[in-house]
Structures are given as C-alpha cells and as structure tokens.
Structure 1
Amino acid sequence: MMASVPQLKFTSKDSIPGIVNGVRSIFHTHKTKPLEFRLVQLRKLYWGMIDNQDALAAACKQDLGKGHFEAYLGELDFCTQTILYCCNNLEKWAKDETAKDIPLANKLLFPKIRKDPLGCVLIIGPYNFPVNLLICPFAGAIAAGNTAVLKPSENAPNVAVVIQKVIEENLDSSCYKVVQGAVPETTALLEQKWDKIFYTGGVTVGTIIAKKAAETLTPVTLELGGRNPAIITKNADIRLAARRLLWGKIVNAGQVCISQNYTLVDKEVLDQFVAETKTAMKEYYPNGTRNTEDFGRIINDRQWQRLKKMMDESKGKILMGGEMDESDKYIEPTMILIDSQTDSLLADESFGPLMPILPVNNLDEAIRIANEVHDTPLGLYPFGNKKETDRCLREIRSGGASVNDAWMHGALVTMPFGGIGDSGQGNYRGQASFDCFTHRRSIISTPSWLEGMLNARYPPYDGKLAKMRSMGQAKPNFDRDGKVSFSLVSYVLSLGAGSKTGGLIRYALVLLAALGLRQYLG
C-alpha cells in the first residue's frame, strides 16, 4: 500500500544563514507590510493549493496512507478555508484600535493600538497533518505582514516536495522560503535569529526549541501533544460516546495530537461502552480496516515500533482489534482494558489507533486520575449530563475541550486553538493566527497645546504630586470589607456605554475635564 519514499533534496546547511538573512533583509524593506501585498500573497497561496490539491492528496496517501476523504477534508479544505477567512477579515484585523479603559484625562493623548508584524518568522511543521499544520500558521504569518521560512517535516517527504513547489511557484520568493532537511538542518535554522518561532510537534523537540529560543529571547508558539483524557459517566449517552470517540481514534490512524489518549469509564456502563464501540467499528468498517483507503497507516517504522512496544509492555487485555503488520505499517484500531494509571499505554502519548480503557468507580475518581496522569492535557472530552461535564471543565485543565464529542474543538477554522503547560503555549486559528504573528503596539499622540496641562509632570516636583494624582488615578468602589459601594459619578460615566450617544457624552466630559485641569494646573 505504501509507495517508496523519495530522497528529499535537503537544503545545504551552509546556505541556511544566507537564506535567513535574505528574508530578514527583505522584511526591513517593508515590502510585506502593505495590506494589498499580503492579500495578493494569500490569494496566490489559495490558488496554489487548489492547483496542486491532487498532488498534495496523492502525497498524503504516499506518506501516511491517508485516504481521499481525510486528505481533502482534514488537510486541503482546512487550508483553503483558513486562507479565505484571512482574506475576508484581514482589513478588519489590521485596523488600528482605539485603546479602551483610558482615564478621562488621558483620552486627549489619543491612545491607540497598532498591529505591527513581528518580522522574520520560522514555522516548523509536523508529519501527521503535514499540509494543514504548516500552511495554516503560514497563512497567519502572511496576513500579519511577516516574512517567513517554512520547514516541512522530513518524515512526510512526498508532501514536503509538493509544499515547496506550491510556495516557490506562487509566492514572492524573496519573502517566503522553504528549507528542507532533518535534525542537522533544523539545528542550523535554530542557530539563526528569529522574531518568532512556531513549532508543532512533540514535547521533547518542543523543549529543545524553547531552550534555544530563550538564548536570543525569541518568542515561541508551541503546539504540542498530550495525554488527553475522555471521561464517560454513567449518565452519558453511551452509544453516542462510543461512536464519537471511536471516530476520534480512527482519523489519520490515531495520529492526531488532540485525540483522546485514554478513556475513563464508569464501571456501571463499561460493558455497554465496549459493546457499542464494537458495533460502531463494524458499521464504520464492515470489511475491516486492512484493505480500505478509509484507514491510514503509521508514518514510519520508528513510530510503528514505538507503538508496538507500548502494546507489548502493557498489562492490559485486548477487547477489540490488535492486528499489526510491520511491513505495511498497519495497526488495527485496538481497544485495551487496563487496570492501572501506570500502564505503559498511559505513560506517554500513544499517537496511534490505541484506545486504552480504565474503569472508574465514579466521577470523583475520574477527575483525580485525569489530573494525576497529566494535569495540562491538550484536550479534554467529558461525556455525561451538563452538571457532570461542567464539573469536568471546572476541575480539569486543558488546552481545549469538546463536550460530548471527540476533538471537534480543534477542527474549527475560526476558533483559537492551543495548549497549556507542557501541551503547548500560545494559540492560532482564525484571528488568533493573525494575532500570533502580530505585535500590538501601543501608541499615543500628545498635542502641543496640552503642554500647559503637562507642566505638573516636570521638576521641580514640590507640591505637584496631588495635582498629578488628580489627573487620572482611579478610586476604589469598595470599602475595607470588600463590599461595593454605589458611586453616582461612575454610574453617570457608564450611561450609554457602547453606544454613539454614550461616546459623545464621554467625549464631552473629557473636554470639560481638560478645561478644568488646564485652569487648575495653571
């Protein structure tokens, strides 16, 4: 089933400093800053993806055994929809913002927030969604006005070749570059100075990147994995939970960083959950998963061996599946009943079609175990009634969560996505992709005619402290016992908040305050 792997033409390590310096130099010409330039590049990227969609889908098939449906929906369509969303909203995102919650006296400084590009950024992609998780953050970097260097995963070499073709044939080659390679080339990239590094992958490499970035105080966004818990209470819709969680583990042969890593099931509904999962499996794959394009393969031998080792070391009992074929990098969707949170299947993120099930006595125990196994997972998947799922959201931290579903929160183009703690830092998707590569720059413009009012800030300071404090210091609306007291002034200032009339009222008050302060300060 798997095609032979081509030899990627790796980028010469010696050329990498020149590539990065060239892209950095172009940024300082301000070429990428005009909105129209950004929009043109996004539009060209869109059509480059469309024109090469068949080649990209074929490459996903070669690298991951990914079928037509998954390649188009989870990779190509996700990217094109992301690009279109950026195009349709860029002008709104990039507009200067009037600063909020500014004291009346400081309104006259016309405070605003400008959205500036960070500069020259590095984006390192993973192998599991080699198109989606490289192109989507790249679209955000373009939209924000940055120059960029992309490093596709060498573990998905067919995709990497097509990605380079898309970028080089459609975008401005002076602003955006693709560097191919493995560890030595990535190391050479990390030796360069960047204005932002965006990495999607595992915790081990993410830690290395964070340490290297810290040497030059380079900001990073890390999209990592996690031992994500699913929780099924006795009040859950068991059939629904089984169907949805099974789907969450068969997509991309389980190589999804936000899929559940293990499922905590109330003992009262364990047998029903297992039975419903088996029923769903037969419905999804009436002829099995071995000879269908609707189920993928493990990316390479190293990852296949890792998963096999986890299975071999587990003390659990296989309830469903278990077939493996090293020559085809095939692992059947496998449900395993375990009896300990120290089992090998919970020690690390499986990142494959393995579904360990750990029975629990109640929700209290499930929440305790989830927090002990990994207290900052990337995703959380509680199934139960609203009271139970709300409690899970309240008492278990996670980067994101899907209630009564598998990882759908991570499948929305417009919704921020990211981890927490050792499942990552920072987020992207939708406007968050633009913000990820943007510096929110605070700017004020002080009129010359305010100089008379500002004299109080200049030495000598004798007698001026009270005047300065009167210009804008907030006063508490609560007493020493923490009780809020009514303030007529605050009430009047809040009238019409958010309306045009309210804005006019507040502006008039600013002018009156300015006149009063000018007279007061002399």
Structure 2
Amino acid sequence: MTSIKLPEFRNTSVEEIPSIVSRLRKTFLSQKTRPAEFRIKQLRKLYWAITDHENEILEALARDLRKSAFESFTAEINWTQNDIIFQTQNLEKWMKDEKPADIAFTNKLLSPRIRKDPLGVVLVIGAFNFPFNLSFGPMIGAIAAGNTVVLKPSEQCPNCAAVMQKIMESALDLDCYVCVQGAIPETSALLEQRWDKIFFTGSERTAKVVAQAAAKNLTPVALELGGRNPAIVTKKADMRLAARRLLWSKTMNAGQVCISQNCILADKDVVPTLIKELGAALEEFFPQGAKSSADFSRIVNERSFDRIKTMLDNTKGRIVLGGTMDRASLFIEPTVVLLSNKDKDDSLLVEESFGPLIPILPVEDLDQAIALANELHETPLGVYAFGSKTETDKILTGTRSGGASVNDGFFHGIIPNLPFGGVGDSGTGAYRGKASFDCFTHHRSITYTPSWMESLLAVRYPPFAGTGKLEQFNKMGLLRPDFDRAGNRKIGLFWYLITLGSGSLLGGAVRAVLLASLSVLAKAYQDGKIALPVKR
C-alpha cells in the first residue's frame, strides 16, 4: 500500500434517506435538470473530478480488489471518462424530438413527434467487481437523460465507495445527485422510497428483492445480472486462440466478471489440446505464477473466497491446472477442472463461480454442446462460440443470451457503444452509449391538432347511426391487407411483370430496365417536373 490517504467510508443515516429523496424530487420538478447545457456541464465536471482523483481511485481499487494499474485504467477510469465524452458529444442530438416513420398522410397533419423526457428520480445500485465502471456508468446515462440520481455503491468495496462519494460531492450539484452509503439496512430504506426507475447491477438473488420492492410502486427496473455463461469449442476451433482468449476473460479481475464463461463445453477430441494450450497461456500470462503477479487481482472478501472454495471442494471433476488457494491473502489461482460428460449437476456448473475457475465438460458433438448450454442456463448473459462460421452461426441460432462473442471471450461487452444487458434471468434492460440515455428516458408521443382540421375530424363525433361516418372514417385510415387468407403475399400484375423471369439473364435485364425507369419517373415527380393524373 502507498501513503495515499483515502476518505473514510461512513454509512448514511437511514433516517436521512427520505429527506434526500424528497430534496431530489423537488429539484427534478423545478426543471433544473432539463436543459442540455446543465446536464453537459455536470458531466464535464465529473470527468475532471475523476482525473483530479485518479491516484485515489487507483489506490482504492488496489486496496479493495488488488487491481493492477492496467485494469484500473482500462476497465474503470478510462472507460468511465470515455463514456462521459461520448454522452456529452451526442446528447443534444439525442434530446431532439423525433419524427415517427411510416405515419399515414392524414396523421402527418397533426405533426406527431416523439419527445425525450427524463423519467424523474432514479436509484442506481452499483456492484463491487468494477465499482467505478458499474456505478458511475449507469449514473452518467441517468444524468445525460436529465434525471436526478441517488447512487448507492457496493459496500463490499468501501474504499472505492468513499472515493466515489468524494468525487460526486466535489463535482456535482448535490441538490440533484447524491451518494448514499451503507449495506442491507440502508439499501432496504432506499427501496422503500418511491422511484421513477431503479437500476441494479448484481446477483439474481438480490435482484428479486429489488424487483419485489419496485413492484409495490410499479417502478420500472433495469437489472444487470450474471449468468452461467457457456463457451462452446468445436473441433474446427483454433485451440491456441480459444485457450488464450478464454483464459484472458477468466483471469481479468480474478474471474469476478459477470460475463466471463462459467464453463467450457468442448468437443471430446480436442479437450487434451485445449488443456495443453490453457497451460501454455497461463505460463505466458503469469511467468512467475499468478500469486506473485501484480497483474492478478484478489477475491473481494472472505465470504466470496469461502463460497468459491466450497464449489471447488465439492466438484466431482479433476483439477488439471492450478488449484492453489490462500485465504489470508484472498488468493485463488486460475484453476482448470476436467469434468465427466455425466457431471451436468456438478457444483461448478449449477452455480456461477464468479471467480477464476475454468471447468471443461467434454461433449460428443456440437448438437450436444448446444443442448447442454440451454440446459445449464436458458438465458445467460453471454455465449462464446469457437469454431467455423457454419458452427458458430449454428450456436448463435440454437442458443439465447444477452449478448455473444464469436471466437473470443466477452468482447461484445467491452465495446463502449454497444447496448449491454441481459435477457430472462440474466437481466432486463440495456445501457452503454446511446442505450444509457434511452434507458433513463421516456419516449413521449405528442401530436398537435390544428383548429382548421375540425371539419375533417367531425367524422369522429356522434351521432353515428345512419350517417355513413364509419365508411368515411375507414376511407381515411383503414389499411387493406396485401395477403390472402392462406397468408400468402398478394402480387399485383405490375409487380409480377417486373419480377417475371428474374431467374434468367433476359428477365433480370428487363427487370433492371423497368426499375431504372421507375426511379427516373419518381425523381421527376419529386422535382415537380411531372404530375400524376387526377381522377375527377
């Protein structure tokens, strides 16, 4: 540890929480957070506060998780600051009203618009594994969308939580954005309040508590959870690449990553080669051993260490690489465990390890791998497919997941502007990039009805019987089907002639000429050079 002094972690008084929420709601209703200029300025100040407290962030991450400087910059500091810049550069564009597409002509007269309104007062509950990224990330989106925010960092990383509070209080408007500290009592008190949205990152078990509390007030939730994510390795996969990339994803933050693979379903014929390549990659990544490396993190606390150790103690598999543990230093070595094809109920498969454990389950073929992936977890947060394009396409089609990376480990989850989120029991909702803005925004449909349309709108007023108003109303907006009773698409004579003979060279040429002619006519009509005949 260095001599850098960090702020002290202090629980927020439970009694203070209702007044905090009330203050933020009063601010929101005052319209203070509505202007783009205000939101952008707050985010810019947050950016520079992160820069000014960079050394404290590094120290806090080292104390709480023994994260390396490389991981701390790439996965926490740089990531968060890049997100701020991306949001501020695009915010005014995102905030603009949108014109809806495919609106009938008569409805266009009402100037329909989709307006981007902030939801209101938002609660963000962060996670311990990437404490700054997974706390500030959603908060940045909520600020960009014009909400007031209460941030509740994970108490499992107290040093990081205290630094986050210091950063917020030094940079942000405290009538709009507040950091609340604490554990179960404080979180319970927060969940008793009325919110306009709750964003939670964490375990499925805690998510159920959050969702139940939110349901009392019909509060919408975004839940970013974990999952027993499968990696599938076929015979045609590059074993060296598969081993290096899957080991990378399982050693980052000592495997405490919600989207890293929980098991590898590998074709039985390539398992020996895969294990050999995993061993070679392990020596390459940590030549002096993971325990001696400054690049390998530690498990967050003794409770998590004991849980992971119990999983390893109870496995029916055989440890083929690693296995060293030290509770005093919270160290668990990257550990590869070879399971039997019959071990579908093994302790390493039925629970998410959230640690550096790498079980390998041999399979007979790709079909069995896909079936097992769906059996172990129907809707994981990620699926990782290694093989030929035909094989990986089959894996993507045959499985469901929040996201997927082909021939890599969770790369889809680290591209900042791709929407990130789960599906089913791996979560609901998505954020990152523009998705963060949308996550905390209500898309409000608005129309403007001019007074001169009153005569046209008279068709909607009673009386109706015997007036012919229904027929008139249907002429104005009733769509006619372009399909028959068998569900087949109807094709008019004109379009039949255009597509006739499309399989032959001559037919294709005729079709191309007709389409080109239509394009010329359409352009001339748009330019006002020709007019369509009007039936009188």
Bin the TM-score by the shorter chain.
Answer: over 0.9
Specify the alignment match of 1:482 in structure 2. Answer: 487
Following the alignment from structure 1 to structure 2, what is the Cα–Cα distance between the partners of residues 79 and 345? 33
Counterparts in 2 of 1:93 and 1:501: CA distance versus 1, 3 Å: farther
- Superimposed CA distance per residue, residues 185-221 of structure 1 (whole angstroms, 9 cap, x where no aligned partner): 0000000000000000000000110011011000000
How far off is 1:14 after superposition? 0.2
CA contact (8 A) 1:321 1:334 kept: yes
CA contact (8 A) 1:121 1:197 kept: yes
Q: Does 1:416 align with 2:456?
A: no
Following the alignment from structure 2 to structure 1, what is the Cα–Cα distance between the partners of residues 30 and 524? 43
- Superimposed CA distance per residue, residues 412-456 of structure 1 (whole angstroms, 9 cap, x where no aligned partner): 110000000000000000100000000000000011111110000
CA contact (8 A) 2:6 2:60 kept: no
Q: Does 1:368 align with 2:371?
A: yes
Following the alignment from structure 2 to structure 1, what is the Cα–Cα distance between the partners of residues 296 and 326? 14
Q: Does 1:404 align with 2:415?
A: no
Amino acid aligned to 1:247: W
Sequence identity, in percent?
Answer: 54
Counterparts in 2 of 1:255 and 1:500: CA distance versus 1, 3 Å: farther
Following the alignment from structure 2 to structure 1, what is the Cα–Cα distance between the partners of residues 188 and 121? 17
- Superimposed CA distance per residue, residues 215-264 of structure 1 (whole angstroms, 9 cap, x where no aligned partner): 10000000000000000000111110000000000000000000000000
Q: Does 1:241 align with 2:246?
A: no
Following the alignment from structure 1 to structure 2, what is the Cα–Cα distance between the partners of residues 478 and 71? 57
How far off is 1:502 after superposition? 8.9
Following the alignment from structure 2 to structure 1, what is the Cα–Cα distance between the partners of residues 186 and 334? 35
Amino acid aligned to 2:165: Q
Following the alignment from structure 1 to structure 2, what is the Cα–Cα distance between the partners of residues 403 and 268? 21
Following the alignment from structure 1 to structure 2, what is the Cα–Cα distance between the partners of residues 236 and 500? 51
Q: Does 1:341 align with 2:350?
A: no
Alignment of 1:398-477 (within 5 A): 398-462=401-465, 463-477=468-482
Counterparts in 2 of 1:476 and 1:305: CA distance versus 1, 3 Å: same
Specify the alignment match of 2:21 in structure 1. Answer: 20
Q: Does 1:182 align with 2:183?
A: yes
How far off is 1:7 after superposition? 6.1
Counterparts in 2 of 1:170 and 1:501: CA distance versus 1, 3 Å: farther
Alignment of 1:33-432 (within 5 A): 33-339=34-340, 340-432=343-435
Amino acid aligned to 1:275: K
- Superimposed CA distance per residue, residues 154-206 of structure 1 (whole angstroms, 9 cap, x where no aligned partner): 00000001000110000111100000000000000000000000000000000
How far off is 1:501 after superposition? 8.8
CA contact (8 A) 2:131 2:154 kept: yes
Following the alignment from structure 1 to structure 2, what is the Cα–Cα distance between the partners of residues 290 and 344? 25
CA contact (8 A) 2:24 2:148 kept: yes
How far off is 1:480 after superposition? 1.6
Q: Which runs of 5+ in 1 are unaligned?
A: none
* Residues 107-116 or 3-12, more deviating: 3-12
- Matched positions, count: 507
Amino acid aligned to 1:472: G
SS in 2 for 1:398: coil
- TM-score normalised by the chain length of structure 2: 0.91
- Superimposed CA distance per residue, residues 96-138 of structure 1 (whole angstroms, 9 cap, x where no aligned partner): 0001111121110111100000000000000000000011111
* Residues 425-434 or 96-105, more deviating: 96-105
Following the alignment from structure 1 to structure 2, what is the Cα–Cα distance between the partners of residues 178 and 44? 16
Counterparts in 2 of 1:477 and 1:8: CA distance versus 1, 3 Å: same
How far off is 1:473 after superposition? 1.7
CA contact (8 A) 1:6 1:157 kept: no
CA contact (8 A) 2:7 2:162 kept: no
Following the alignment from structure 2 to structure 1, what is the Cα–Cα distance between the partners of residues 7 and 442? 40
Counterparts in 2 of 1:35 and 1:300: CA distance versus 1, 3 Å: same
- Superimposed CA distance per residue, residues 354-408 of structure 1 (whole angstroms, 9 cap, x where no aligned partner): 0000000100100010000100000000100001100111110000000000011
- Superimposed CA distance per residue, residues 446-500 of structure 1 (whole angstroms, 9 cap, x where no aligned partner): 11111110000000012211111111121111112222223599999xx88xx99
How far off is 1:53 after superposition? 1.5
SS in 2 for 1:471: helix
Amino acid aligned to 1:417: F
Counterparts in 2 of 1:51 and 1:476: CA distance versus 1, 3 Å: same
* Residues 439-448 or 5-14, more deviating: 5-14
How far off is 1:282 after superposition? 0.6
How far off is 1:337 after superposition? 0.6
Following the alignment from structure 1 to structure 2, what is the Cα–Cα distance between the partners of residues 489 and 454? 35
Following the alignment from structure 1 to structure 2, what is the Cα–Cα distance between the partners of residues 503 and 303? 67
How far off is 1:67 after superposition? 0.5
CA contact (8 A) 1:13 1:184 kept: yes
- TM-score normalised by the chain length of structure 1: 0.93
Following the alignment from structure 2 to structure 1, what is the Cα–Cα distance between the partners of residues 16 and 447? 42
Counterparts in 2 of 1:227 and 1:465: CA distance versus 1, 3 Å: same
SS in 2 for 1:417: coil
CA contact (8 A) 2:6 2:56 kept: no
Amino acid aligned to 1:164: Q
The alignment yields a C-alpha RMSD, in angstroms, of: 2.4
Specify the alignment match of 2:510 in structure 1. Answer: none
Following the alignment from structure 1 to structure 2, what is the Cα–Cα distance between the partners of residues 375 and 11? 39
Amino acid aligned to 2:427: G
SS in 2 for 1:198: strand
